[in-house]
Amino acid sequence: MENEGLVGRVTEALAGRIIVNQIKPGERLRQDGIAFEFGVSQGTVREAFRKLEAMKLVEALPRRGVRVTPVDVAGEREIATMRAALEVLAIRSIAGTVSSPHLKSLREILKQGDAAENLIDSETANREFHIGLARPCAMPRLIATIAELNVAYSRHVFASARPDTWKPRYNFDHWRIYEAYASGDREQAANLLARHVSSVDRVSRQGK
């Protein structure tokens, strides 16, 4: 069995490059080249490819190797629809009160997002906030799916972004969601979240 630590390291590195658009949609991944770069066996790279495929970041093509999955408007809208449904479900499934330490961690994430000086840091905070909102629902499969969808959405953000025009911003939507969430009004938080997630359509704006 291949070393899980090595597989994880290669998977994480490649996923990071794909998410920030360093490896472009449609680009093929060479197993031998990646093995050489990371100093690992091709078996380790194959396992990493399987994990990336499970994350929907790459796809295996018969007799043509592995390539990064495409980014398109239909895909973004599907992701937004699924996120709106599942993230709302997670918030509505939270039983009891949310702990003070968890609320504090969400506030810190929001502050980090507002203080971000580049798109990578901003989008990292965005993902952490959305996934963080779901964590108290204590439904591991649901949380994992939400995390996967947020990673997929980040790809669309980076694919359509223009780094030269990106500017820091205060995320009013996130703070409004947080305030309702922290006050215990999770129905209001869920409604605000659904509108927030459904309102973003970066890839289609780019194509206009």
- The backbone region for 118, taken as left when phi is positive above 0, alpha when psi lies in -120 to 50, beta otherwise, is beta
Give the Cα separation of 134 and 206 in Å (integer): 30
Structure tokens given for 5? 């630590």
pLDDT string in tens for the chain (208-residue length) = 447 789 999 999 999 999 999 999 999 999 999 999 999 999 999 999 999 998 889 999 887 789 999 888 888 889 999 999 999 999 999 998 999 999 999 999 999 999 998 989 999 999 999 999 999 999 999 999 999 999 999 988 888 877 667 787 889 999 999 999 999 999 999 999 999 998 764 444 444 3
Residues 6+ apart with CB under 8 A from 98: 136, 181, 182, 184
H/E run at residue 65: strand 65-68
Burial group, residue 14, by CB count within 10 angstroms (0-12, 13-18, 19+): buried
Q: What is the pLDDT of residue 163?
A: 65
Q: Which residues pair with 61 in a beta bridge?
A: 65
Same fold, 4-68 and 73-207: no
Nearest Cα to 177, choosing from 157, 150, 197, 147? 197
* CATH class of the 73-207 domain in this structure: mainly alpha
Question: What is the C-alpha to C-alpha distance for residues 93 and 105, in angstroms, rounded to an integer?
Answer: 20
User: Which of 80, 81, 53 lies closest to 65 in space, CA to CA?
Assistant: 53
Q: What is the pLDDT of residue 35?
A: 95
| pTM, entire model | 0.84
Cα 146 to the center of its chain, rounded Å: 8
Q: What confidence score (pLDDT) does residue 204 get? A: 42
**What are the domain boundaries of the chain?**
4-68, 73-207
Annotation: CATH topology of 4-68:
Arc Repressor Mutant, subunit A (1.10.10)
